[in-house]
Structure 1
């Protein structure tokens, strides 16, 4: 039987991710799970990947519900007409990833005690997932959410008479050169947007899109001459308690087609999950940085200098 709440949910349905503020806004499928909306910092419902003309009020219209509280993230995931629940304690989180290729987007949580938690969503709703990540950062690393320093009384810190130093997140402050390869313009723009909202960011390293030379014999080199392997560009920065890598969805790609995906990996600095590295087995100019997790290690593929800067912090 279709209820008034079901009709309201159908009327509001679209590709966007909505915030849940009241019990009536919880999707029907998930109402059997005990949720403390009062204790939650943020609750979001992720719609099914269907067009509106294929939806109807009797359907379960949401694939996931994400509820963040001071201790962790609860994720309810639809499977047909049932759902599963998983709680991820904040203390177990190693890294957060948010990536998109046009409308195909994914939010991934890597932890010390299980396989990655992956939530697919429509890329048009990325702002909502960014908001969730910002809330999670404030709980994981409180220093990351500190406002700019202020003088007593709430007035801004006085500016010295000398010209101010360039912001720490800019190339001028660190001597780090951002990629200037045409394929990396999107990464540079994404970093500029992110750094603009981070008063305590430090740019650590970056590398442009690179053509990799393989190890091996003449046949391997000949095959790569026809279809070269590309290491996509990346930018590495630090904020209090965190490391950030802005990159493409895939680290390596064969052929000459440009990659228009966008990805941001946030690594939580924690003593029990320190990054390690090893040489790439086929490409001597690439380094694989790994983070220990409960499942397969999280792997980042960078050039040697960028990997060294990440490992040093």
Structure 2
């Protein structure tokens, strides 16, 4: 039995550069690494000591092809395959809480593809997300609305999100701080940035938790020109908080935002239409 896959197995996402590095489960799928911009293999979440040479040790094979993203996922007895044209991807969520990583791809039909991964291996996922962001919206930025308020203040924003914000700016210096929500009773912090082309929202997995979610960081990316609308409603049983539902094709993403300047800035970043009336 060929033990190369087992010999190489660990918790890290690895780039696949040749056909011999494709996990054996996925070798019949027709993925040619030489013809792809990036191919990644995502390992199963099992300890090395529990792995065996005869096991299929990779949960996913992800390939950025010329015009599509191919995602192959292991299941009992085989694998499932999804191929997404780049313009079918309408939002990206990269979420990490310690070692628990999840990449979520929202699609134009309202569905989502979720890829779990080891949070210690985030760099390849960020590279993948960068390639997708460069492909799903291949035109120039739209201008942002003129800034009518001072630059938002980051005081009171949770430290983990401020750290994530500075990391984003180091990679993407063209991003502009749009709004920042300080932590308050009943609502966690969030930070919104935009360069006119995309909107990035940094937040926790649990928007409302009082504790137990002090380590998660979610980066939600919306392609701004493809946003078709936003609905604003008061959040039930949460005074002073509104629920903003952003429509991108058939996908609907929801964000709780405090009523007031933060809401006005968030809606202005979404579009030039201004703030819709509350129902």
- What TM-score, normalized to structure 2? 0.86
Kindly indicate whether residue 59 of structure 2 is the aligned counterpart of residue 63 of structure 1. yes
Count of residue pairs the alignment pairs up = 262
> 1:235-255 CA deviation, whole Å, 9 max, x = no partner?
0000241000011111111x4
Query: Could you say what secondary structure the match of 2:56 adopts?
Result: coil
Alignment CA distance shift 1:33-1:189 (3 Å) = same
1:73 maps to 69
Instruction: Tell which structure's C-alpha radius of gyration is larger.
Output: 1
Tell me, in whole angstroms, the C-alpha distance in 2 between the residues paired with 1:57 and 1:128: 25
Kindly indicate whether residue 4 of structure 2 is the aligned counterpart of residue 17 of structure 1. no
1:250 maps to 206
> 1:61-96 CA deviation, whole Å, 9 max, x = no partner?
000111112422110000123100011221122210
Tell me, in whole angstroms, the C-alpha distance in 2 between the residues paired with 1:80 and 1:294: 33
Kindly indicate whether residue 176 of structure 2 is the aligned counterpart of residue 176 of structure 1. no
Tell me, in whole angstroms, the C-alpha distance in 2 between the residues paired with 1:56 and 1:259: 36
Query: Could you say what secondary structure the match of 1:95 adopts?
Result: strand
Tell me, in whole angstroms, the C-alpha distance in 2 between the residues paired with 1:278 and 1:110: 23
Please report the RMSD computed on the Cα atoms of aligned residues, expressed in angstroms: 2.3
Query: Could you say what secondary structure the match of 2:35 adopts?
Result: coil
Kindly indicate whether residue 42 of structure 2 is the aligned counterpart of residue 46 of structure 1. yes
- Structure 2, unaligned runs of 5 or more: 142-148, 270-279
2:100 maps to 104
- What TM-score, normalized to structure 1? 0.78
Tell me, in whole angstroms, the C-alpha distance in 1 between the residues paired with 2:162 and 2:206: 17
Tell me, in whole angstroms, the C-alpha distance in 2 between the residues paired with 1:284 and 1:296: 27
Identify the match of residue 278 of structure 1 among 233, 237, 259: 233
Tell me, in whole angstroms, the C-alpha distance in 2 between the residues paired with 1:188 and 1:144: 28
Alignment CA distance shift 1:71-1:284 (3 Å) = farther
Tell me, in whole angstroms, the C-alpha distance in 1 between the residues paired with 2:228 and 2:5: 42
Identify the match of residue 220 of structure 2 among 228, 250, 265: 265
273-282 or 88-97, which deviates more: 273-282
Tell me, in whole angstroms, the C-alpha distance in 2 between the residues paired with 1:119 and 1:61: 15
Q: Is this contact kept in 2: 1:99–1:106, CA < 8 A?
A: yes
Q: Is this contact kept in 2: 1:275–1:290, CA < 8 A?
A: yes
Alignment CA distance shift 1:25-1:195 (3 Å) = same
Alignment CA distance shift 1:16-1:8 (3 Å) = same
What displacement does 1:200 show? 1.3
Identify the match of residue 187 of structure 1 among 155, 158, 161: 161
Query: Could you say what secondary structure the match of 2:29 adopts?
Result: coil
